[in-house]
Amino acid sequence: MTELPRLILARDHIQQGLTPKDLARRSNAGALVRIRHGVYVDGVAWHALKPWEQ
């Protein structure tokens, strides 16, 4: 089985000084993929997965 990419939680990044707008910009640029509210994953790693793994 393929190793799944690490989940990125918005609350953790906000505590490190990133704003919600920074996360939205990265998501719009394709660097991150929003899985659900407040949960992201690396865009390159996400698109490398097969559809059933996503």
Domain range list for the chain:
7-48
Given the DSSP bridges, would you call strands 32-36 and 7-9 parallel, antiparallel or unpaired? unpaired
Q: Say what the pLDDT of residue 48 is.
A: 93
pLDDT digits (tens, 9 = 90+) for 1-54: 678 899 999 998 888 888 889 989 999 999 999 999 999 999 999 999 999 998
Q: How far apart are CA 14 and CA 53, in angstroms?
A: 28
Q: Say what the pLDDT of residue 2 is.
A: 72
